[in-house]
Amino acid sequence: MRIGLIALLHESNTFSFQRTTLESFRQNLLLTGEPIRSALGQAHHEVGGFFAGLDAAGVEAVPLFAARALPSGTILADDYAQLLERMLNTVRQAGALDGILVAPHGATVSEQFPDADGHWLAELRREVGPALPIIGTLDAHANLSPLMVDSCNALVVYRTNPHLDQRARGMEAARLMVQTVRGEISPEMAAAFPSLAISIDRQCTEEPHLSPLYQAADEQLQDSRILSNSILLGFPYADVAEMGSAVIVIADGDKAFAQEKANQLAEMMWSMRHDLDGKFTSVEEALEECVHSSERICLLDMGDNVGGGSAADGTELIAAIHQRRLGPAFGCIYDPAAVQACEAAGPGKKLQLKIGGKTDSLHGEPLDVEVVVELLCDGKFTEPQPRHGGITEFDQGRTAICRTDTGLTLMLTSQRMVPFSMQQLYGCGVDPHQFRILVAKGVNAPIAAYREVCDRFIRVNTIGSTCADMSRLYYEHRRRPLFPLEQEAEYSI
Ligand SMILES: [Zn+2]
Distance 194 CA to ligand 1 centre (A): 19
The helix (H) or strand (E) run that includes residue 118 is helix 116-128
In the chain, where are the structural domains located? 2-276, 283-468
Q: Could you read off the pLDDT of 24-49 as tens digits, one per residue?
A: 999 999 999 999 999 999 999 999 99
Q: Which pLDDT score is estimated for 493?
A: 80
Per residue in 177-225, pLDDT tens? 999 999 999 999 999 999 999 999 999 999 999 999 999 999 999 999 9
Given the DSSP bridges, would you call strands 329-334 and 408-413 parallel, antiparallel or unpaired?
parallel
Residues above pLDDT 90, as percent of the chain: 98
Q: What is the pLDDT of residue 90?
A: 98
Q: Output the pLDDT for position 492.
A: 85
pLDDT higher than threshold 90 for residue 426: yes
Residue closest to 4 by CA, chosen among 84, 91, 131, 117: 91
Average pLDDT in the 463-474 region? 95
Distance 131 CA to ligand 1 centre (A): 30
- Percentages helix, strand, coil for the chain (3-state, rounded to 5) are 30, 25, 45
Question: Count of residues for the chain?
Answer: 493
Instruction: Mark the residues whose beta carbon lies below 5 A from ion ligand 1.
Output: 139, 141
CA of 415 to the centre of ligand 1 (A): 20
How far, in Å, from the CA of 163 to the mean position of ligand 1? 7
Instruction: Give the Cα separation of 109 and 96 in Å (integer).
Output: 31
What architecture does CATH give domain 2-276? 3-Layer(aba) Sandwich (3.40)
Instruction: Classify each residue of 212-242 as buried b or exposed e, where b means 16 or more C-beta atoms within 10 Å of its C-beta.
Output: ebeeebeebeeeeebbbbbbbbbbbbbbbeb
What residues have CB less than 8 Å from 174, skipping those under 6 apart? Answer: 3, 49, 50, 52, 53, 54, 56, 57, 101
Exposed/middle/buried for 324, CB within 10 Å: 0-12, 13-18, 19+?
middle
The whole-number average pLDDT for the span 86-104 is 98
**Contact at 8 Å (CB) between 485 and 471?**
yes
Residue 436 pLDDT more than 90? Answer: yes
Cα(140) to ligand 1 centroid in Å equals: 5
Q: How far is the CA of 184 from the centre of ligand 1 (A)?
A: 32
Q: Which pLDDT belongs to residue 53?
A: 98
pLDDT band at 121 (very low <50, low <70, confident <90, very high): very high
Mean pLDDT of 308-332: 97
* Dihedral angle computed from the Cα positions of residues 130, 133, 139 and 141, in that order, rounded to the nearest 10 degrees: 30
Residues 6+ apart with CB under 8 A from 137: 46, 49, 102, 103, 104, 155, 156, 157, 158, 166, 169, 170, 173
Ramachandran category for residue 121: left, alpha or beta (phi over 0 → left; psi -120 to 50 → alpha): alpha
- Report CA Rg, the chain: 22
pLDDT at 59 over 90: yes
